Amino acid sequence: MRHRKAGVHLSRTSAHRKALFSNLVAALLTNERIRTTDAKAKETRRLAERTITWARRVGEVLTKKPDRRTTEESARVVHAVRMARRVVRDRGAVMKLFDEIAPRFVGRRGGYTRIVKLGQRPGDAAPMSLLELMPDEGGPSAAPAETPAKGEGAKAKSGKAAAAPAAKGSKSAAKAQEGEGDKAGSKKSTAKTPAAKSPKK
């Protein structure tokens, strides 16, 4: 029985397994998506989410400049970096984690990654998956789609303003045509009345 023995062995020694998952987590943080087998993806997600949580907990402190942090806040950041370096040995990946990825997930309580099934690998039919970081939901890319650009807004307003007088002008023109038609109709009716023949006596 394997009571209280978490994780998978993957037919590797402990040193080989630690190096494997350290490299996979570093690749995930650097490229933000990796393609691997299902078993490796599930175990990598477990370690990656723990690592991202260490950085997310000091996300508010990371927004401050280093010279503006208190001694306690600086100690928290150093501790979080050291805990992340226990899993990720790549310095560049750790720097990206604390500079870019952690501020993105400040408002999220877990669930930083997702796994997408890709089917079987040709050759040995191993089930493959795509492990990737969740996209930024509140990022700046969604804002321009909702609000028009400065030039477009001005053009739209000027177009509306131009359309309103045109509409008013068309209404006045229609009224004028109706008035002319009424006048013409009254002239025709007055013209017909004197031409009517009186009955012969």
pLDDT (tens digit per residue) in 18-44: 999 999 999 999 999 999 999 999 999
In a domain, 45, yes or no: yes
Whole-prediction pTM: 0.65
More confident residue, 192 or 133: 133
Residues with Cβ within 8 Å of residue 89, at least 6 apart in sequence? 22, 26
In a domain, 159, yes or no: no
In a domain, 115, yes or no: yes
In a domain, 168, yes or no: no
pLDDT at 176: 53
In a domain, 132, yes or no: yes
Determine the Cα–Cα distance for residues 27 and 29; give it in Å rounded to an integer: 5
Query: How many domains are contained in the chain?
Result: 1
Domain holding 56, by residue range, is 14-136
Identity of residue 52? I
How do residues 77-98 score in pLDDT, each as one tens digit? Answer: 999 999 999 999 999 999 999 9
Q: CATH no. for residue 102? A: 3.90.1030.10
Tokens 């310095």 -> residue: 91
In a domain, 42, yes or no: yes
In a domain, 77, yes or no: yes
Instruction: Please state whether 21 falls in left (phi above 0), alpha (psi between -120 and 50) or beta.
Output: alpha
Using DSSP, state whether 113 is helix, strand or coil: strand
| Spatial contact of 97 and 51, defined as CB atoms under 8 Å apart | yes
In a domain, 90, yes or no: yes
